Structure 1
Amino acid sequence: FKKNKMEYNPVVFEKLEEVNAAVTVPLLAFLAAGDHLLIVDSVYHPTRHFADTMLKRLGVEVEYYAPHIGAGIASLIKPNTKVVFTESPGSNTYEVQDIPAIAKAAHAANAIVMMDNTWATPLYFKPLDHGVDISIHAATKYPAGHSDVLLGTVSANETYWKQLYEGFCMLGCCSGPDDIYQVLRGLRTMGVRLEHHRQSALDIAGWLETQPGVAQVLHPALESHPDHALWKRDFCGSSGIFSIVLDGGGQKAQHAFLDALKIFGLGYSWGGYESLAVPVFLGDRTVAKGSYAGPLIRLQIGLEDVEDLKADILRGLAAAAAAG
């Protein structure tokens, strides 16, 4: 799409999204008709779409829970609860879940805990060490790192590995050798790239907190974030993606911000070398809608010069203020 011709329509974005097989394979491998599935309400949208369509058609009972529920998830677990699906921080709004507490409650009821760990990567959070049974990661993002591969990975503990592997084989998944090679190549530089993303994003996120026109910065590594203490307890680093809340203005200001950008591209993937920005829509959520002062915009901070990116963001903020 050319930026100035793009329609900011969530339906269009939904059709463009790839549902990650790394999410669908473990869900299909462990769930059956009559099972109950608990999913965090701040989950990656294609995961929600898959659960609300195919899983429900297959007879799975799907229920969404608030990301801050922690040990309280025990109150939602039923005799037929088979899987608790987590994602921390949550997509677009970056709520941090108390994964050890959730895992303890789930395991007490013999439920399997799955986690989408794409944001932190295994470098900054190790799910299996915190009680997760199955860890999911979009290798499209930081492991590949060059915005040219669609690939996912799934890891499991000893208890569930065999069933996961059997499900993977039965579903006929097969990654192309060239894609595998490109991710292997990306892994060789992932550590240094991710550290650069981390530092640049933290620099820009902290700076944004001081800028007029920004009501809030949603980045768990900032001390201002309501879940910062929990993030600091469990994580050893942060990645390059976070969201900002504009200080009012509505969708018109949101679109004006995006149209004014020159360095940031518009794109829903992230984790590559380039900076990206997209509008955030929360209309599909049921219990984690939040209360925000204005529209949300997600920023992926790439490998470009930080001062250049700040200048680009200032163009966006000026345009948003004029539109609002």
Structure 2
Amino acid sequence: MSGDRKDSGKPKGIATRLAEGGRRLEWTMPVVNPPVWRGSTHLFANDAEREKALGKIGDGQFFYGRHGSPTQWALSEALTEIEPGAAGTVLYPSGVAAIAGALMAVLRPGDVLLVTDNAYDPSRAMATGLLTDFGVEARFFDPMDTDGFAAAICERTRAVLFENPGSLTMEVCDVPALTAIAREHGVISLIDNTWASPIGFPALERGCDIAIMSLTKHVGGHSDLLLGSASAGAKYYPRLKRTAQALGQVVSPDDAALALRGLRTMKVRLEQSTRSALAIAEWLKARPEVAHVLCPPLPGSPGHEIWARDFTGGCGLFTFILEGRTPQHRSRFVDALEHFGIGYSWGGYESLALPFDPESIRTDSPWPPAGWNEGDRLGIRLSIGLEDTNDLIADCEQAFAIMDTE
């Protein structure tokens, strides 16, 4: 464990790191969890201490509330400990803020940013809106075309943003191969790693330079906070921290405390939701109403071979495609669900269903994919929570019956 607590120095498993990360004795004192340190003003015993602190501004140094307190420092340290290869982690008030902050740390006017074509919609909007306003040109690429990736890189390409798998259409790209190509061309690799987290996909070890997460999802786990993070090695962590401070990015200590609480149980929640998702995906695969199940941990699902090679875990988020139905059929199915809420986000303890139509936002990769029937277009994304698996299957079964009732 960190700080003055006993630590044998032996390598620790992920569950131990999740349980112990960030619990320095000077931060927790005699209690298990770091207290919630609320405060904008930090006081100094004398002017000499104030002068001394000026040269040590950073994690673990009281100075001013915007630079954090033990509650935020503990969360940053714990996240760093579960991300192999990370030198540090910067916190942001949302996942989108983390993506924006990380991109702004590495991009300059005139740069080209490559963006995976299956990216989260706010990432696409940021690339074609905010970053364009700052003189950055965004270009989209097909994440499944590994052989053609090098051709997408030009002399102005500064960075590439991956998302693996895509959080709607679930493509699993070959990140180690793609990041190796990027590195050969001097291009910085960033990844939105929210789906698997470092528990399931150690992104820095797989070749990425900066790993981004929406802590709102699996880390929080209870649908009651908004937070984001970006972790990096020694080369890019100082730049992330410097940019975040320049932008005035700071997170609430109350939200940091909630994220720390969620972090301790994240592994067991992910394992349970993954098991349940696999059982439901298998059941859906056999349904006549379903044309395709897009679930990377499911054998036979698109991308499963790369997932099995590169990932050590999954989560409860996957997609299925209705066969030959209309938008009205899909709406009836979703409306009939009793145990699934209708809403955005995912990774909480409750199950969610979200209809989606990615065709209108794809620019460089085909949707529907080649080989699918023309009518196989209507997607439903499920986020599987911690309810009883059999109850969720029964819920989907009764919703299918209602779906086909005119």
- TM-score (norm. length: structure 1): 0.92
Equivalent of 2:364 in 268, 271, 287: 287
Shift of 1:205: 0.5
SS of the equivalent of 1:136 reads strand
Q: What is the alpha-carbon distance in structure 1 between the residues aligned to residue 366 and residue 217 of structure 2?
A: 26
Q: What is the alpha-carbon distance in structure 1 between the residues aligned to residue 206 and residue 139 of structure 2?
A: 23
SS of the equivalent of 1:38 reads strand
The answer to whether the aligner puts 1:47 opposite 2:130 as a matched pair is no
- Stretches of structure 2 that go unaligned for 5 or more consecutive residues are 1-93
2:393 matched residue in structure 1: 310
Please list the CA deviations of residues 70-106 of structure 1 after superposition, one character each: whole Å capped at 9, or x if unmatched.
2531111000100011010012110001111111111
Equivalent of 1:300 in 366, 370, 383: 383
Whichever residue aligns with residue 295 of structure 1, its letter is: L
**Contact 1:35 / 1:60 at 8 angstroms: preserved in 2?**
yes
Shift of 1:58: 1.4
SS of the equivalent of 1:271 reads coil
Q: What is the alpha-carbon distance in structure 1 between the residues aligned to residue 102 and residue 133 of structure 2?
A: 17
The answer to whether the aligner puts 1:157 opposite 2:240 as a matched pair is no
The answer to whether the aligner puts 1:243 opposite 2:319 as a matched pair is yes
2:55 matched residue in structure 1: none
Alignment of 1:4-15 (within 5 A): none
Give runs of ≥4 in structure 1 deviating > 4 Å.
none
- Stretches of structure 1 that go unaligned for 5 or more consecutive residues are 1-17
**Contact 1:71 / 1:105 at 8 angstroms: preserved in 2?**
no
Please list the CA deviations of residues 140-191 of structure 1 after superposition, one character each: whole Å capped at 9, or x if unmatched.
0011100000001100111111111111111111000000000000011111
Q: What is the alpha-carbon distance in structure 2 between the residues aligned to residue 42 and residue 320 of structure 1?
A: 28
Shift of 1:322: 2.7
Shift of 1:311: 1.0
**Contact 2:127 / 2:138 at 8 angstroms: preserved in 1?**
yes
Q: What is the alpha-carbon distance in structure 1 between the residues aligned to residue 245 and residue 147 of structure 2?
A: 34
The answer to whether the aligner puts 1:88 opposite 2:171 as a matched pair is no
2:258 matched residue in structure 1: 182
Higher helix share: 1
2:143 matched residue in structure 1: 67
Shift of 1:19: 6.4
Whichever residue aligns with residue 308 of structure 1, its letter is: D
CA RMSD of aligned residues (A): 1.2
Shift of 1:274: 0.2
Percent identical residues: 44
Shift of 1:111: 0.7
- TM-score (norm. length: structure 2): 0.74
The answer to whether the aligner puts 1:201 opposite 2:284 as a matched pair is no
**Contact 2:96 / 2:214 at 8 angstroms: preserved in 1?**
yes
The answer to whether the aligner puts 1:121 opposite 2:197 as a matched pair is yes
Q: What is the alpha-carbon distance in structure 2 between the residues aligned to residue 243 and residue 60 of structure 1?
A: 32
Shift of 1:319: 2.5
Q: What is the alpha-carbon distance in structure 2 between the residues aligned to residue 86 and residue 120 of structure 1?
A: 13
